[in-house]
């Protein structure tokens, strides 16, 4: 069961769900546009976080790549916020006035909310990001949102089974992600 939980957590990792979300949204403008945006999100947001995770685990500052302890989260949130700000700058230049700008700003706001409550509860970022992606895709009428939504209960189980979160932490991640996604999908 641990192996299954680990694979679910990898397949539904925030990096994966975020890239699926931006790729699916931009695919409406064509494969080349989707590839450009996925590359930009990868370079500006995913790579810095992946490098941080690798560094922190290698230095033994973190027990896992998930920043599983609340004390590990501030640097994760700082690098994530910096990456989202860089992405916002890129989007402002390349896609001025685009809903993508509001999406990145909304994701930054979601990250800020998660960071603010960390002293009391460690929100599951896996759940928050996957729920955000599912809500936006479903809200925009894109069929890919439904399979992603169907994976959310399995992802919740996986995060708890791996000992990364408690049920209330995955439930709060779900709630924050769905609310953020619903707000973002309503903005045209």
pLDDT given at position 89: 95
CB 17 within 8 A of CB 133: yes
CA 161 remoteness from chain centre:
20
Please, which residues have CB within 8 angstroms of residue 27's CB and are 6 or more apart in sequence?
A: 33, 34
How far apart, in Å, are the Cα atoms of 150 and each of 9, 94, 156, 177? 14, 34, 11, 15
Q: What is the DSSP string of 72-126?
A: GHHHHHHHHHHHHHHHHHHHHHHSTT-HHHHHHHHHHHHHHHHHHHTTT----HH
pTM over 0.85: yes
Percent over 90 (pLDDT), the chain: 86
pLDDT score recorded for residue 188:
63
At 180 the pLDDT is 97
What average pLDDT does range 35-42 have in this prediction? 95
Question: What was the pLDDT predicted at 67?
Answer: 86
What mean pLDDT is predicted for residues 82-106? Answer: 92
pLDDT digits 0-9 by tens, 46-89: 999 999 999 999 999 998 888 888 899 999 999 999 999 999 99
């Amino acid at each position: 069961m641990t192996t299954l939980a680990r694979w679910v957590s990898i397949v539904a990792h925030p990096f994966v769900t975020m890239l699926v979300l931006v790729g699916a949204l931009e695919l409406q403008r064509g494969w080349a546009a989707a590839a450009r945006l996925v590359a930009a999100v990868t370079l500006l947001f995913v790579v810095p976080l992946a490098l941080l995770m690798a560094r922190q685990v290698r230095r033994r500052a973190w027990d896992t790549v998930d920043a599983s302890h609340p004390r590990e989260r501030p640097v994760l949130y700082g690098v994530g916020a910096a990456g989202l700000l860089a992405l916002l700058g890129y989007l402002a230049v390349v896609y001025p006035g685009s809903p993508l700008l509001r999406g990145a700003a909304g994701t930054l706001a979601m990250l800020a909310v998660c960071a603010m409550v960390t002293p009391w509860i460690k929100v599951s970022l896996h759940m928050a990001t996957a729920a955000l992606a599912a809500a936006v895709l479903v809200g925009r009428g894109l069929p890919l949102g439904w399979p992603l939504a169907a994976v959310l209960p399995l992802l919740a189980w996986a995060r708890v089974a791996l000992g990364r979160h408690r049920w209330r932490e995955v439930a709060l991640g779900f709630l924050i992600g769905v609310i953020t996604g619903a707000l973002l999908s309503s903005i045209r």
